[in-house]
Amino acid sequence: MAGRARGGAAPQQRCPSCGSPVINELVGQWAALNVIADLTPLTPEQQEQLREPNRLIWCLRTNSLGHKRLFWVESWHPPDCRTGAHVADHLCPPAAPTTLF
Ligand SMILES: [Zn+2]
Ligand SMILES: [Zn+2]
């Protein structure tokens, strides 16, 4: 299911464990952090639930060239942030025995 692959776009990958689409990027000015984040934007309710120290929320912005970049949310961004979609560090979902669609 490869979508349109545009040259130069940030590599989008899949989690080797669960197959979810993720973005893998080095973030940070001083000590770069290797971040694997979900590509699915969080709803405001999910962001409230995820406000815990162990899981970071990132502001995923797409520039005019279509490059996706993760920005560290240093101060609180509104849940309906206009500059980017808010995504969280990727955690594999618990293994589900069956998937109902
Ligand atoms: Zn934001
Ligand atoms: Zn995973």
Provide the residue range defining the domain that includes 24: 12-88
Q: Which residue has the tokens 């309710």?
A: 45
> Does 29 reside within a domain?
yes
* Dihedral angle computed from the Cα positions of residues 22, 60, 57 and 98, in that order, rounded to the nearest 10 degrees: -30
Q: pTM of the predicted model, to two decimals?
A: 0.72
**What digits encode the pLDDT tens for the residues 55-84?**
788 999 998 998 889 988 877 788 889 889
Whole-number pLDDT of residue 100: 60
Give the number of the ligand closest to the Cα of residue 39. 2
DSSP 8-23: TPPPEEE-TTT--EEE
Ligand 1 centroid to Cα of residue 97, in Å, is: 35
Ligand 1 centroid to Cα of residue 76, in Å, is: 8
Which residues are found with C-beta within 5 Å of the ion, ligand 1? 59, 77, 81, 84
> Does 98 reside within a domain?
no
If you average pLDDT over every residue of the chain, what do you get? Answer: 81
3-state SS assignment for residue 80: coil
Phi, psi of 56 (to 5 degrees): -90, 150
Ligand 1 centroid to Cα of residue 85, in Å, is: 6
> Does 68 reside within a domain?
yes
Tell me the two tokens of residue 5: 């692959």
> Does 34 reside within a domain?
yes
> Does 50 reside within a domain?
yes
Is the pLDDT at 86 greater than 90? The verdict is yes
Is the pLDDT at 2 greater than 70? The verdict is no
> Does 43 reside within a domain?
yes
**What digits encode the pLDDT tens for the residues 38-48?**
999 999 888 88
Whole-number pLDDT of residue 12: 66
Q: What is the 3-state secondary structure (H, E, C) of 25-62?
A: EEECCCCCEEEEEECCCCCHHHHHHCCECCECEEEEEE
Least confident span in 6-10, 12-16, 18-22, 73-77: 6-10
> Does 100 reside within a domain?
no
> Does 101 reside within a domain?
no
Total domain count, the chain: 1
